[in-house]
A and B are shown apart, each in its own frame.
Chain A
């Protein structure tokens, strides 16, 4: 229920600009957005065409589709017809991703990935508001094999992100941190003073590499799991605080907590 609720919150957060980002007459009109997207994945332009025979115009169709997306996320969070809700949420998220390709960033891809898992795995059995009789409690889990697939995928994400960073000099000499927190779009505080004690950004860069690369190895042993989850959550709190990437950080914290911290506390149970 966590991911659909976060996506719903995000949808409300950007709702006043949804038509600018995804509408047929948005900042990038559909005729141009079509040049950037995979023609095999149906975007909003394709879906709105289905409404035309019903006499529903493009603008109204977009509003209906966005409302259906919001409704499916809410239904998925509540565990209401989870498979159907997950299918709608994933399909409409993918359409938005496809037609809004010019403006999406990493977190949208991650959301697509884990919505797909909510669709193919029996997610509706765990952590929803649907009450189950006591006899069905054993069913209120997702199979361990499904959990392992998602855990492995999350480890690949961190390992790839860490190794790709480690190949750049900027992450070793602190310039990556300096450049990031100095960009107007990410800057939440004036951190120009960091140029003088340059060991601070260097330490932050090394710490980022250690946490991301170490994640794939140290989140599995029981003795280091809790510590590594806590430092990973700390990394994302830092990203949220100093770069303003609150939505991205929230999603990443949710994934680590759901895949590694909660299953440890409740064996063979997972939430997503």
Chain B
């Protein structure tokens, strides 16, 4: 009996693994769907594994132009001074902000959060321009003909530090 229960449990779990890999779990309706998705969250059984698939998306980054009241402007990205592993993570973060910023009601909040983070790190700055950019990479054929990669701005916003209220 115990053996039968174990086989049943393992089979259900592996069925969810296969359903997740086939991108089916998110489409399951009703209570069963909600239950399956919760179990997926806990166990990772419902993950899909589309790493760099079906195509490689562009790299996204957040670039900041910081302006002090006097002196020179400076530029930096979230990756500036970070290790490569942290760079992957803040790169994903820029991607998340880009997706969130497609919604008008969230755009200001997310771009503002990035701006506040940089203004906090640079107390001398009173303006910051936030640019969410993607890396436009030419194809191999275009590259052979002389095209070169470049960063392209997707969203930008400027934030000004307000003096603390009295």
* A, B co-complexed: yes
| Min CB–CB distance A33 → chain B (angstroms) | 9
A contact residues around B97 at 8 Å (CB): 28, 102
Total number of A residues with any Cβ neighbor in B under 8 Å: 69
Report 15 cross-chain contacts, Cβ distance below 8 Å, ordered by A residue.
A27-B93, A32-B110, A110-B47, A149-B10, A156-B21, A157-B21, A164-B54, A167-B53, A169-B55, A174-B140, A180-B52, A183-B137, A185-B79, A185-B87, A192-B143
B84 within 8 A of A: yes
A187–B84 alpha-carbon span in the complex (Å): 10
> Is A176 within 8 A of B117, CB to CB?
no
Total number of B residues with any Cβ neighbor in A under 8 Å: 59
> Is B85 within 8 A of A246, CB to CB?
yes
A96–B5 alpha-carbon span in the complex (Å): 32
A27–B73 alpha-carbon span in the complex (Å): 22
> Is A196 within 8 A of B13, CB to CB?
no
> Is B45 within 8 A of A157, CB to CB?
no
B contact residues around A185 at 8 Å (CB): 59, 61, 79, 87-88, 91
> Is B137 within 8 A of A182, CB to CB?
yes
A contact residues around B93 at 8 Å (CB): 21, 27-28, 102-103
A contact residues around B55 at 8 Å (CB): 168-170, 176
Of the candidates A29, A40, A94, A167, which one forms a contact with B54 in the assembled complex, judged by CB atoms under 8 Å apart?
A167
**Chain B, 77-93, CB within 8 A of any chain A CB:** 78-79, 82-93
> Is A165 within 8 A of B53, CB to CB?
yes
A139 within 8 A of B: no
**Given A105-B89, A198-B140, is A170 in contact with B10 using a C-beta cutoff of 8 Å?**
no
- Complex: chain A residue closest to B120, CB-CB: A25
A112 within 8 A of B: yes
A194 within 8 A of B: yes
B164 within 8 A of A: no
**Given A167-B53, A178-B140, A201-B140, is A14 in contact with B89 using a C-beta cutoff of 8 Å?**
yes
A36 within 8 A of B: yes
**Chain B, 137-164, CB within 8 A of any chain A CB:** 137, 139-141, 143-144, 149
Chain B 10-38 interface mask (CB, 8 Å, partner A; 1/0)? 10011001100110000000000000001
**Chain A, 166-192, CB within 8 A of any chain B CB:** 167-171, 174-176, 178-180, 182-186, 192
A267 within 8 A of B: no
A contact residues around B4 at 8 Å (CB): none
> Is B52 within 8 A of A176, CB to CB?
yes
| Min CB–CB distance A89 → chain B (angstroms) | 14
A160–B52 alpha-carbon span in the complex (Å): 12
B contact residues around A110 at 8 Å (CB): 44, 47
> Is B44 within 8 A of A40, CB to CB?
no
**Given A36-B96, A38-B41, A109-B47, is A180 in contact with B56 using a C-beta cutoff of 8 Å?**
yes
A152–B130 alpha-carbon span in the complex (Å): 45
B contact residues around A14 at 8 Å (CB): 83, 85-86, 89
A161 within 8 A of B: yes
| Min CB–CB distance B2 → chain A (angstroms) | 12
- Complex: chain A residue closest to B149, CB-CB: A182
- List the 5 shortest-distance A-B pairs measured between CB atoms, nearest first: A168-B54, A113-B44, A164-B53, A160-B21, A103-B89
| Min CB–CB distance B3 → chain A (angstroms) | 9
Q: 16 other contacts beyond A165-B52, A198-B140, with CB at 8 A cut-off?
A: A13-B83, A17-B83, A27-B113, A27-B114, A28-B96, A32-B109, A102-B93, A103-B90, A103-B93, A105-B88, A110-B47, A156-B49, A164-B50, A171-B53, A178-B140, A183-B56
